[in-house]
Copies of this chain bind each other. A is one copy, B any other.
Amino acid sequence: MKKIKVIQFGLGPIGIEALKLAADQSWLEITGGVDIDPAKIGRTLAEITGVAALSVAKVYPSLEALFTAVGRPDVVLHTAGSSAASSFTQLKPALDLGISVASTCEELIFPALKTPDMAAEYDQLCRRSGARIAGTGVNPGFVMDVLPICLTGVSRDVTSIYVERVVNASTRRQPLQAKIGSGQNPDAFRAKFAAGKAGHAGFQQSVALLADAMGWKLDEIRETCEPVVATSRVVTKFFDVAPGQSLGIHQKCYGLCGGETKIKLDLQMYLEAPLPHDAIVVKGRPDLNLVLNGGVAGDDATVAALINIVPRLLAAAPGVRLMTELPLPSWRNPRPAQR
């Protein structure tokens, strides 16, 4: 079988992890990387990732430079930011040429929420060029949206959806512990969240994707975030948090429709959070009550979702695609079905 040619756009921690996983896949061929960091440009992906097999693939400063040097890939793996608007602009050179994009950009889970005009414009562009672009990940992209939607596949009726996720942030990498405000002053964190500079990204997009799948026209999406404050000292590999400082976040997002709360998402992500898990309650007929004991590990699952989506993305019609428009998620099996 012909291998699918991929390149990696964005060589931060998630991009490097995605490359390591991609390098393990016999059905993928990695032809290069793109990053704006001058310290990375020109180096090989073997140097960047430690994967010896990537000694030929290099880092380029732009998609255009990469295409000129090594030709066009089939798919761009994109892990370079949370903003749909920036991502669309970054990726235009690929989409213009009909090259498809799988992205971990949180807002691309439902790009019409924040950038409806741009989503429509890029949808047209993709339909003309033959490209597909979709956002994926573990949250947003799976536990709080795709998995509950899949569950309603056996529902005669759905009246409301509740999802909670508890993550023990002590087990996660430093940037995540920093992002949730570990060790910060709670009021300083509140101010940052109010300014849109802290908290979990993509929450509102999960609510929008759920509402879209259920056919609910929401009047309002409401989001709150409170710091979880340490009552005693907490020490991790990266932070030493004194009593009164923040351990992380308790973030909620509501989807309201005609005065009713149709959707509620509840995320607790803080250092030493006990009993990590994901839970879904679908009210309707039948009621459904799902628990993922221990939850789904964030970074491992995010890069897995990114790689696993590749064959499904290529099977979809051109356009700006939602996860609900792609074939059932699955561990990558790019083989044709045994039929």
Chain A residues engaging chain B, CB cutoff 8 angstroms: 21, 112, 116, 119-120, 123, 138, 142-143, 146-147, 149-158, 212-215, 217, 284-294, 296-297, 300-305, 307-309, 320, 322-331, 333, 335, 337-339
In the complex with contacts A327-B327, A328-B328, A331-B152, A337-B308 CB distance below 8 A: no
Neighbouring B residues of A292 by C-beta, 8 Å: 288-290
Which of the residues B297, B305, B325 comes within 8 Å of A327, measured between beta carbons? Answer: B325
Q: Are B291 and A296 in contact (CB under 8 A)?
A: no
Q: Are B212 and A337 in contact (CB under 8 A)?
A: yes
Neighbouring B residues of A286 by C-beta, 8 Å: 296-297, 300-301
Q: Are A158 and B288 in contact (CB under 8 A)?
A: no
- Top 3 closest pairs, chain A to chain B, by CB: A153-B329, A154-B301, A152-B331
Q: Are A138 and B150 in contact (CB under 8 A)?
A: no
Main secondary structure of the interface of A (DSSP, over half): mixed
Q: Are B21 and A305 in contact (CB under 8 A)?
A: no
Q: Are B339 and A123 in contact (CB under 8 A)?
A: yes
Q: Are B288 and A291 in contact (CB under 8 A)?
A: no
Neighbouring B residues of A331 by C-beta, 8 Å: 149, 152-153, 155, 157-158, 213-214, 284
CB-nearest residue of chain B to A282? B331
CB-nearest residue of chain B to A155? B331
Neighbouring B residues of A290 by C-beta, 8 Å: 290-293
Which of the residues B146, B152, B153, B337 comes within 8 Å of A153, measured between beta carbons? Answer: B146
CB-nearest residue of chain B to A120? B339
Please indicate which of the listed interface residues A289, A292, A330 has the most CB atoms of chain B within 10 Å of its own CB: A330
In the complex with contacts A153-B142, A213-B333, A339-B119, A300-B285 CB distance below 8 A: yes
